[in-house]
Structure 1
Amino acid sequence: MNDVTHRLVPSPAGRIHLVEQGSGPLVLLVHGFPESWYSWRHQLPALAAAGYRAVALDVRGYGRSSRPGDPAAYRMRELVEDNVAVVRALGEDAAVLVGHDWGSPIAANSALLRPDVFRAVALLSVPYTPRGGPRPSEVFARMDGAGEGPGEFYVSYFQRPGRAEAEIEPDVRGWLAGFYAALSADTMPAPDAPDPHFVSPDGTLRDRFPAGRLPGWLSEADLDVYAGEFERTGMTGALNRYRCMDRDWEDLAPYDGAPVRQPSLFLGGSLDASTTWLSDAIAAYPATLPGLVDSQLLDGGGHFLQQERPDEVNRRLTDFLAALD
């Protein structure tokens, strides 16, 4: 991608690395786990061609952005302030946010906490779920082994510092290849296979990953980009986002049940566990996303939607943005 501009801008974390293409109204693209700005490589040129200033960032803990050592530095309020800092550093007053995976709740909460800065939001793969209910760690503990026999839910597995790192970091490239394949439509395990979102007792998450081929959206060169970044940075910064979920639940208590009122878009994959587990959250959108313009499950889509189905995602994103303008 030789026609993009790389920048480092100041943020509360220290610095945020971003990649920019195009000019016009600002659209900020926020990735999820385990990705980087590069997961938006198909959207940057499409949005630029449609007349937008498209900016994909490395979330704190990833890539060339700062990686604070304290796990508490990865709480949601801190990430919201990073997004605000990026907008200000780019000389803008407002932006539209697009988030995928963890980037989806980061984008939604940025719109919720800072409606003065974020005028609209598009959420990919992970539905908006307002703060509420029991403490997240209690919810995940109840999911352990759900319907799968003995096993631990992956979010619970990620909680203890160093545990998942010990599994992933000896072979980052191989682990990433398996993780991407496990959640992609064309390579995910069959419905009757052990669920890759759970860890068997004394096992690893990787034990349940498919092996042997990459998903169609991921070339060897693409995998090299992702693996190269995590081999350089390690996995702790990325995993620390999972380790702040209880802190977020406490921090966001004043926003219990709060809707995001700005214009919004939701796109999910029909084969993505995120959309099936959280189907009630999608059904609640009339109350939780009262500004919803469109909500679509792309038939046969997996989790890495903007990479698996870039043309369709780009079309729906540009239609959404054009309607705003």
Structure 2
Amino acid sequence: MTVNRITVNEIDFAYLEQGEGPLALLMHGFPMSPATYRYLMPALAGAGYRAVAPYLRGFAPSTLPPNGSFGVADLIADVNGLHEALGGDGDAVLVGHDFSAPAVWGAAQDGDRWSKVVVCDVPPLPVFGPMVLTPQGTDALSHFWFFQTAVAEQVVAADDLAYLDWIYRKFTADGFDATEDLKHAKDALRAPENLAAALALYRTAFPPDRFGTPDWVQEHAAVWGAPPSRPTLNLFGSEDPSFAITDATLAAILDGLPEGSHAEVVQGAGHVGLVEKPAEVNRLILRFLAGEL
């Protein structure tokens, strides 16, 4: 696995790379890093893909965007720009987790770029919206609202970013050792400007004066509300407190996805099944890419 750099949208992106073949672009979430894909990358490389996992805009060692913009539309532009800059074609596959999921749902509307799409732990917008705006949803995702406050940087940064330890404990299954993930996440967010950038993702996407209004819904629907144009695998963890995924939820998700799509709950995984249950998640992703699901 090598570390390389490439400039897209005036941002110097650092990225991990492994393997040769069609591009597999892997986008991480918060408070994560490309290390989230440390098990999937060699599996994809072994299956004949060129696996590339960038650090998101503002996450060190990638640089901050010169215009200071951190909207979902910006992340979609990064995904599409990386596809082009890395020489991707119609055989490329796209994988997103957590905060990158909306960007992947949006980028996946362009069927000329991607052959298949994988989204981990976040449903499509028509399912996401109603689930977030429930008592359980607002409680489980309380960090969305806390990050809007002026004191958030101070609290999250305290005691060597101990807040990140807490958030990993909350969103992973009991007994998961997040030491490796936390090391990389803290390195990416330790500098004040990088932490501010990460919080800006939430402040831009969920502004308290607009979140949930008809204008907000219309804006986000235009960016990532349409269904993907290629078969999509949507995975969740049975122990993830973010969303209560039932058989009815899976059916609702599949109703909005193209033919050949699949949605499944990984038993025993929390919100980061990619590292909590890597063997099972890798198996599902590779079978999906091979057309076996």
Q: Same fold (TM over 0.5)?
A: yes
Q: CA deviation at 1:261?
A: 3.0
How far apart, CA to CA, are the structure 2 residues paired with 1:159 and 1:278?
Answer: 30
How far apart, CA to CA, are the structure 2 residues paired with 1:316 and 1:145?
Answer: 27
TM-score, structure 1 as length reference: 0.77
How far apart, CA to CA, are the structure 1 residues paired with 2:195 and 2:115?
Answer: 32
Partner residue in 1 for 2:78 = 82
Partner residue in 2 for 1:7 = 4
Deviates more, 1:224-233 or 1:31-40: 224-233
How far apart, CA to CA, are the structure 2 residues paired with 1:143 and 1:21?
Answer: 42
Q: Pick the aligned partner of 1:52 from 46, 49, 53.
A: 49
Partner residue in 2 for 1:172 = 160
Q: 1:87 to 1:222 in 2, by over 3 A?
A: same
TM-score, structure 2 as length reference: 0.84
- How big is each residue's C-alpha offset from its partner over 1:105-147, in whole Å with a ceiling of 9 and x where there is no partner? 22111112x322223211111112249979x9xx76x74996x
Q: 1:69 to 1:26 in 2, by over 3 A?
A: closer
- How big is each residue's C-alpha offset from its partner over 1:85-123, in whole Å with a ceiling of 9 and x where there is no partner? 1111112224211111112222111112x3222232111
SS in 2 for 1:323: coil
How far apart, CA to CA, are the structure 2 residues paired with 1:6 and 1:298?
Answer: 30
How far apart, CA to CA, are the structure 2 residues paired with 1:271 and 1:99?
Answer: 19
1:104 has 2:113 as partner: no
How far apart, CA to CA, are the structure 2 residues paired with 1:253 and 1:272?
Answer: 25
Partner residue in 1 for 2:274 = 306
- Letter of the aligned partner of 1:317 in structure 2? I
Indicate if the aligned counterparts of 1:9 and 1:17 stay in contact, CA closer than 8 A. Answer: yes
SS in 1 for 2:243: helix
Q: 1:287 to 1:155 in 2, by over 3 A?
A: same
Partner residue in 2 for 1:32 = 29
Q: CA deviation at 1:44?
A: 1.0
Partner residue in 1 for 2:200 = 240
Indicate if the aligned counterparts of 2:236 and 2:245 stay in contact, CA closer than 8 A. Answer: no
Q: 1:153 to 1:261 in 2, by over 3 A?
A: same
Q: Pick the aligned partner of 1:62 from 59, 69, 81.
A: 59
- Letter of the aligned partner of 1:156 in structure 2? W
Indicate if the aligned counterparts of 1:111 and 1:119 stay in contact, CA closer than 8 A. Answer: no
What is the alpha-carbon root mean square deviation over aligned residues? 3.0
- Letter of the aligned partner of 2:112 in structure 1? D
Deviates more, 1:122-131 or 1:16-25: 122-131
Q: 1:274 to 1:131 in 2, by over 3 A?
A: closer
Query: Larger radius of gyration, structure 1 or 2?
Result: 1
Indicate if the aligned counterparts of 2:122 and 2:128 stay in contact, CA closer than 8 A. Answer: no
1:319 has 2:284 as partner: no
Q: 1:272 to 1:152 in 2, by over 3 A?
A: closer
SS in 2 for 1:59: coil
Q: CA deviation at 1:152?
A: 9.2
Q: Pick the aligned partner of 1:267 from 235, 238, 245.
A: 235
Indicate if the aligned counterparts of 2:11 and 2:57 stay in contact, CA closer than 8 A. Answer: no
**Number of residues of Structure 1 aligned to a counterpart in Structure 2:** 282
Indicate if the aligned counterparts of 2:98 and 2:121 stay in contact, CA closer than 8 A. Answer: yes
Q: 1:69 to 1:144 in 2, by over 3 A?
A: farther
Q: Which segments of 5 or more consecutive residues in structure 2 lack a partner in the other structure?
A: 208-215
